[in-house]
Amino acid sequence: MNFIETRGNDENRAAEVTFSEAILNPSASFGGLYVPKELPKLEENFILDHLNATYKQLAYDILKAFEIDIKDEEINKALNLYDNFDNPTNPCPVVKVKDDLFVHEQYHGPTRAFKDMALQPFGSILSSIAKKRDEKYLILAATSGDTGPAALNTFKNKENIQVVCLYPDGGTSDVQRLQMVCEDGKNLKVIGIKGNFDDAQTALKKLLASQNFKKELEKDNIKLSAANSVNFGRIIFQIIYHFWSYIQLLKQEEIKYGEKIYLTVPSGNFGNVLGGFYAMNMGVPVEKLLVASNENNILTEWINTGVYDIREKELKLTKSPAMDILKSSNIERVIYSLYGASRTKELMEDLNTKRVFSMTQEETKKLQKYFSAINSDDSYGAKTIKRFLDAGYLMDPHTATCIKAYENLKEKDLKVVLYSTAEWTKFSPTVLQALREDNKKYSDKEALEIISKEYNAKLPDSIQKLFTSKEIHKTVIQKEKIEEEIIKFIRD
């Protein structure tokens, strides 16, 4: 299967590329993204045929349906990394919380966040391609807290790969920061920037599109790629677990085959819910995708009004920092799927130049066939965390935002799968404040110890070890210095 470009082709590059090419060189014509030329048509009984499959078997069959140009041995090697999760046969369990509410726990991997689900196998495949081609790659990652640790973990000490991870200084939790700055791989560089996640992501996109930067890298025989969800290599693995959600409800006899469900996802860069959108279009019986935002409610406004307007917006730093984003990259892939390349180019150029785009009423209605959206604030999140732990379930602040979608956006009496994208350990001070109903400042170490003791919550060894690990990466710079710092790193 070939991949094409969301904004059309500029005639300076191939009109269609293979999966390998799309993930090695994720920047497409006119600053666009790569998408499948068409989604695979799965066999009618695909879901039923996988009722007793392991997660790895399901993943393998979906990847093969995309006809990716990766050898079976490399696919299996990548998928075997799920063996490092808490439960290798069920790396992302779906847990019943209420009669109609199920939490899909996506945080049972090495860095305790959902990014492991995609980045663990993606990193293995990208590294194997680079080695096979005898090419060296610089992988860029911009993070609001979870992509960074997951990317660094998967690419650590991989041959033919160097990684630079950009994070907003002061814009992540202490645990997230420590997971990055304590990584000791010789091929890794972590850079804190004076700015927010949008600044980091904008810098990444500019570097991916910069011919001058690429020419500078070529002096050292290095090519450029990315680990963010601008790379379809991330998205393809994010489709799989939405199939898993439906299969788990069937296995638990909570639904009958063909019965529709709701999926609700905490959304920032829109990659996770995009995976649900693709799964829905590949045959998973989804009634609607319920998008949950925090006080940075740009996605809620877009879905509810058809207008994406960041002209007067300032990014708010909230207790759910992975969602503190104003420019969500993956809305572009949804726009392309619904309205085509020409309209996508028009809307994205409006956003880049005018900081606003407006869809027609008909276009908005088409979007709303698939998505409903709502936003919450930190106060709602805190009350929700306490309310659910009092009932026996411990969640992080991102998961809490989805409860508002569950409680307010359901139009039919159907089961809901809620995506829990991070373990409580990544945001323990916020969780402890919620549980104690106070505004006291807790350190991550203090909050982790209190919650694990007082609430009998398991503390993973990988999290405990962070606080005695050496901080290796101490670089914090102005965003204007990013390119200079990267060049310095690859030539040291």
Reply yes or no on whether the pLDDT at 216 is more than 90: yes
Is residue 145 predicted with pLDDT exceeding 90? no
Specify the pLDDT at position 244. Answer: 98
Closest CA to 173 of 297, 317, 1: 317
Contact yes or no for 4/32 (Cβ under 8 A): no
At 391-401, the pLDDT tens digits run 999 999 999 99
- DSSP strand pairing (161-168 vs 136-142): parallel
Could you give all domains of the chain from N- to C-terminal order, each with its CATH number?
A: 81-112+233-467 (3.40.50.1100)
Retrieve residue 67's tokens.
Answer: 């006809």
Classified as helix, coil or strand, 120 is: helix
Q: What is the pLDDT of residues 383-392, one digit of tens each?
A: 999 999 999 9
**Whether the Cβ atoms of residue 243 and residue 398 lie closer than 8 Å to each other:** no
DSSP lists the bridge partners of residue 102 as 96, 417
Mean predicted confidence (pLDDT) in 269-293: 97
Confidence (pLDDT) at 80: 98
- Our measurement of the distance from residue 319's CA atom to the centroid of its chain's CA atoms, rounded to an integer in Å, reads 18
Mean pLDDT of the chain: 96
pLDDT digits (tens, 9 = 90+) for 423-459: 999 999 999 999 999 999 999 999 999 999 999 999 9
pLDDT of 97: 98
Which helix (H) or strand (E) covers residue 193, if one does?
strand 188-194
80-119 confidence digits (pLDDT tens): 999 999 999 999 999 999 999 999 999 999 999 999 999 9
213 has a pLDDT exceeding 90: yes
Helix (H) / strand (E) element for 320: namely: none
Model confidence at 144, pLDDT cuts 50, 70, 90, reads confident
Three-class SS state of 167: strand
CA distance to 335, 353, 358, per residue, from 364 (Å): 10, 22, 9
Quote the tokens at residue 283. 């045959």
pLDDT in tens, 222-279: 999 999 899 999 999 999 999 999 999 999 999 999 999 999 999 999 999 999 999 9
The stretch 58-73 carries a mean pLDDT of 97
User: Quick one: 44 exposed, middle or buried, by C-beta within 10 A (0-12, 13-18, 19+)?
Assistant: exposed
User: Is a pLDDT exceeding 90 seen at residue 492?
Assistant: no
Q: What is the DSSP string of 422-451?
A: B-GGGGHHHHHHHHHT------HHHHHHHH
Q: Given strand 286-293, what is the order of strands in its sheet?
A: 94-98, 101-105, 416-420, 261-266, 286-293, 371-375
